[in-house]
Structures are given as structure tokens and as C-alpha cells.
Chains A and B, each alone.
Chain A
Amino acid sequence: MQGIIRTIRDGSGFDILLLGLALLYLIIFSAFPIIYNIIMSLQTVDMFTLTSFNRPFVGLQNYYDIFSQPVARTIFWNTVKFVVLSIVFQLSIGFGLALFFQQDFPGASYLRGLFLAGWIMPALVVGAIWKWLFAGDFGVINYVLTSLGIADDRIFWLSDPNVALYAVIIANIWLGIPFNMILLSVGLASIPRDVYEAAELDGAGAFERFRSITLPLMRAQLGAVISLGVIFTLQQFDLIAALTQGGPADSSNVAQYWSWQFSFQTYEISLGSAVSVLMIIFVIVVAAVYVRSTRHEHSY
């Protein structure tokens, strides 16, 4: 016993203890739920069998059921649009702002700090505020668009099936910009100034410096931000719940919300699990890309 205490205090036991705690945490809170979820996606789970583990095994039947749902196609394309458009705009606007605040002007760091405000707010609150902004009758956005003459008539952002998805995407872009900006700012700040100065002396103009110095040196950060952005976007639930609940008629529904609807609204738990397992597989692919991209980090 005393030997164990000694090795924990000043031997390799301490390393094993720390490792063990982290591993235990991962097993209980990550590995177990994921594996349990995968198992549920291969079983028939409903309200009655929820508490027992001994449930009928149905193989890939749940996956087959999902794809045979008439809305599956809509939801798949909605999810693709939601992720791609969110990432493209979050990234380009966030990168633009990061570059802008990298310039040396008075108050740059304070203004940059101000952008964090959007990030701190709960997505549910952000959703509630955007709901007012988007409101068809009294929303500020419609007011601005019609008074500037950009739109002839009011747009029913949240109840028109043709635009509801885009309204959610716009709100999500706004929500994701600060994260992109802060992470990319950190990356930009880590590029030594004298590398740019050397490029300037070598004859590179501002655009050329961006193309041949900034972009390649930001590769790891851009990879990280894109992969994390994909994961966060696939997690985005609160905003959809607050704005449209996937409606009208699933026109703004996406995979993660659909999975939640199966599991917690219609209690087709095994279908919900199957959707989430498909998402996990996709996220694992993205995470692998992320890990690869961070491995390429440069040392100065």
C-alpha cells in the first residue's frame, strides 16, 4: 500500500493516475454514449423498451427507414446548404475582419473584443432576437429593405418555405463570425512581422503578400477553423429551435434537428439514433482532416 502511495507521489504512478482520470472521463462521457447510440441505432427502441437493454436487433433496418422517408432528401440538401453556406460566409467574413483588425489603428483591440459579445450570448437568445429582426410584419430587416427600395414587398423570412432556411443560415453566420475571427486573428498574430517585411523588401505588394505568405502560413488555422466550424454547424440546434423549429413543412429542417425530433418529439428513438450515427461518421471524417491539418504547423 505504501509502495503505491510512493509511486503516485513521485514515480510513474502519478502519470498513470492522470492518464487514468482522463481516460475514465472519456470512457464515461464520450465513448459510452457514442457506442450506446450506435447500438440503439441497430435496435428497435420505443417508449416501452427504453429502459431495458434487451431490445430486438434489426440490423440496418433503421437506416433503411430513414432513407425511405419522403423528407430525407430535403433534409439532406438542407443540411448541406446549411453547413456549406454557413462555413463559407463565416470564414470569409471572419477572415476579412481578422485581417482588418490586424491593421494598426486606434481602438483595434477594443473593437475586436466587442465582437466577442455575439459569441458569449446563448444561441437561444440570439435566435429570439433574430426572430424579431426577421418578423414579417414588424421586423427591422423588412423595414430597412422596403424603405431602401431593395425589396418591393415584405418578405416572410420565417414562414415562407423558400426563404426560411436562408434566414436560419444568416443568423447562424452572424453567430459564427466572432469565433472565426478570433481564431484566425490568433493565427495572423503568430506570423512574425519580419517575414512580411522581408517579403516587402523582396518586392511583394499587399495582395502578393496575402497570397504567398498569409494564406500558406494560415493553412493549419484555416483547416482547424473549417473543421471546427463544420462540427459546430452540425451541432447548431438552439438557433433552429428558436427561429423555425425546422418548419414550415420541413423546409428549414436539418439533420441534427430531425434527429432530435425523432428521439424526443415522436419518440422514434432508434431512428433518431441512426441519424445521429450518420452525422458522427461525417464528423469523424472532418475531425481526421482537422488533425491532419494541424500536423502541418510551421515553426518559425
Chain B
Amino acid sequence: MLQIEIDHLNKHYGGFHALKDVNISIKQGSFVALVGPSGCGKSTLLRTLAGLEKTSSGDVRIAGRSVIGKPPRERDVAMVFQSYALYPHMDVEHNMNYSMRLKRRPKEEISERTRTAAETLGLGNLLDRLPKALSGGQRQRVAMGRAIVRNPKVFLFDEPLSNLDAALRVHMRSEIRKLHERLNATSVYVTHDQVEAMTMADHVVVMRAGVVEQQGSPLDLYDRPANRFVAGFIGSPAMNFLPATATENGALVLDNDSTQIGLNRHIAAGCKFWIGMRPEHLSLKPCVNDMAIDATVTGIESTGSMTFVVLEVASQPVVLAHSGRPETRRGDQVRLHISLDNLHLFDRETELAA
């Protein structure tokens, strides 16, 4: 069953076209990540779902009913803000049950639901604290608690983890994911961190400049990026790109280099491409169906389990991911082996996958 349908949605701010013909369908119970660089319109889209921004044209349906023109409180959605937006003058308990107090629910129900949500989030002993007496992580939990007690149709998250330190962020990722599964809720999650999007969501929407560039399952986007932007945005370290031109005999020649790459596909001579290679599909040792290019090692970054070798190939920087610790040093001349089965081609003019 579809929970949210975004249908040809447009949003203008004066002369600025913030959302351009956005179409997204979100199933009941799914976890959707909106991801993209700053200013891509992901937060605007989320705020439009919440009812905090007006739309210019198009339709938004929640549970089958159009919510265009409806104020936030009639949409049955809860939102966790980046800044948490806790009520500074209310203690944790009152922050969490504000919505129920507004609805004048019975006292027993209010305290019961507040207690349950607080226990779920480990806030049981903090109920009488003011937000200013809480740590960043605790505030974040209160913001989530405020959303949970309402038991809404849809949860909206606006970069909720960006103010936390790295370790807590990783921990909270799985917490939010677990919570989502337990509540069987529909969640829309905005982030600029593609790792967060990949690890948490079952449907990822990549946006740039108000346009949905591609959407699909995380691995789908990783394996079959629709264009150069998505290819470069999804994956860490990012995909490498080398400029190349097709020759008469159907091979590709790297620009600034005479290396030829033979491909088992028909391409028109003279076409210019970006060759995209994931760091883990490169190797310093021969592998199946590969080809080799001369390269110079210009840097080595080791995380312990993984080593990223920065190479220079045809005057372009290329990053190689090596599990373990390769015996190579800066300045070494090496042969770079490229797995031909995992190459991506992008038209240099349209940037679309070829």
C-alpha cells in the first residue's frame, strides 16, 4: 500500500525553482532516504511533506488523501528537526507529551504513553530535566520521543544525526532503524551523508538542484548509477573518472594517454566518455578479465583494515581500495589492473550512463 505519493511536485521561491517536477512513491512501512548535496532541495521536499512549505504545483497524498493546503497538524506526520527544536522551557516529559496535552487526552493515557516512549529511548530517569541540562545525544532522543508518542502515520527526519559526534552517530543510525522496524512506521529521512542513506534506507532518492536524479534500492544505485552525478555521489571513497574517446575500431582511448581499452560493446567513433571505476574494482595484482595501465603511487591512506592507494593515471588522480596492506610506497611505478566487467561509461555531454 502506498503511504506517500508525490506527484509532479514543483516549488518556486520567487524566481528560484527549488523543486522541479518531483515524483516519488513511498510504500507503507518503508524507510526512504532523501540524499544530495547542500541546497539540492531535499529539506524543502521534507518540509513540503510536513506542511511547513507551500507547494507551487503538483500533488502530495498521504494515505491516499491529498494534503495540499492542509496545515501540518492535519497531516498526522511527526518530524525530528536537525536542531531538535525542543521547547526550551519545558522538561523532557512535557516536551514529549505536548501534542497529547494539546489534544486534551486523558491524564492516564498521557503519562502512560510518555513513560512507554521514554523507556523505549532510555530517557526514563531524565523526565524532569530541561533541555539545556541534556547532552546532544539525549536531546536527540527527546526529539525522537516527541515524535514517537504521537504514533503518526509518517515520521520525517531532517538530518537528525548531523549534530552528534561520529561514534554516537553510527550507534543512533541502527537505533533509528530498529525503532522504525518496531513501530512499523513509514519514515522519510533527509541526509547529506550518502553512507547514512545507504545503510539505513530501503529506498534512496538522490537529488541535485531540485531534481530527482535517481531513486531505487541502495545497491541498485551503487551498481547501476543512472548518471555521472549519482555515480560520484554514492560510494565512499567516490568512483574514479577518467576521460576517454571512442576510436574507429570500437575501443576507448584515454585522453592524455595512448592506452586503449577494448570493450565488448558497440560505441560510435568520436564519442567522448567518462570511464567510471569503483576503487574496489581496481587492483595492483592481475584479476579476471582485466587490463593493465602504468600508474604512479602518489599517496597511501591506511585505515588499518583497508588501504586507499592514491595513484596518478594519465595525469588523473585515481583511488584504489585494497583490503589489507599492500607493499607499495609513494613514488612507486606500478601496473594498475582494471576489472573490465565493472566499468561504467558516462556520456561526457549528457553525463548519462552509456
Contact = CB atoms under 8 A, between A and B. Distances in A.
Interface of A: 192, 194-195, 197-205, 208, 212-213, 216-217, 219, 298-300
Contact of B81 (A198, A208, A213, A219): A198
Nearest to A197: B52
Which 10 pairs show the lowest CB-CB distances between chains A and B?
A202-B99, A194-B85, A203-B73, A198-B85, A298-B88, A216-B89, A201-B72, A200-B72, A203-B102, A194-B81
Interface in B26-68: 50-52
Interface of B: 50-52, 71-73, 77-79, 81, 83, 85-89, 98-99, 102-103, 132, 146, 150
B155 to A, nearest CB: 11
A219 B89 CA distance: 10
B258 to A, nearest CB: 57
A202 to B, nearest CB: 4
A217 B89 contact: yes
A202 B77 CA distance: 9
A251 to B, nearest CB: 45
Contacts, number: 64
Nearest to A198: B85
Contact of B50 (A195, A201, A208, A216): A201
Given A203-B99, A208-B102, A299-B132, A198 B87 contact: yes
Given A197-B50, A201-B52, 5 more contacts: A200-B52, A202-B146, A208-B102, A216-B89, A298-B89
Contacts of A299: 88, 132
Q: Select the residue from B50, B51, B73, B86 with max chain A CB neighbours within 10 A.
A: B73
A206 to B, nearest CB: 10
B112 to A, nearest CB: 18
Contacts of B81: 194, 197-198
B86 to A, nearest CB: 8
Nearest to A200: B72
A192 B72 CA distance: 18
A198 B89 contact: no
Contacts of A212: 98
Contact of A298 (B71, B83, B132, B146): B132
Contacts of A202: 73, 98-99, 102, 146, 150
Q: Select the residue from B71, B79, B88, B99 with max chain A CB neighbours within 10 A.
A: B88
A192 B83 contact: yes
Given A208-B102, A299-B132, A200 B71 contact: yes
B26 to A, nearest CB: 18
Contacts of B103: 203
Contacts of B146: 198, 202
Nearest to B143: A198
A299 B84 CA distance: 13
B73 A200 contact: yes
A217 B85 contact: no
A195 B73 contact: no
14 contacts: A194-B85, A195-B85, A197-B50, A197-B79, A198-B79, A198-B81, A198-B87, A200-B71, A200-B72, A201-B50, A201-B72, A202-B73, A203-B103, A217-B88
B87 A213 contact: yes
B47 to A, nearest CB: 8
B149 to A, nearest CB: 10
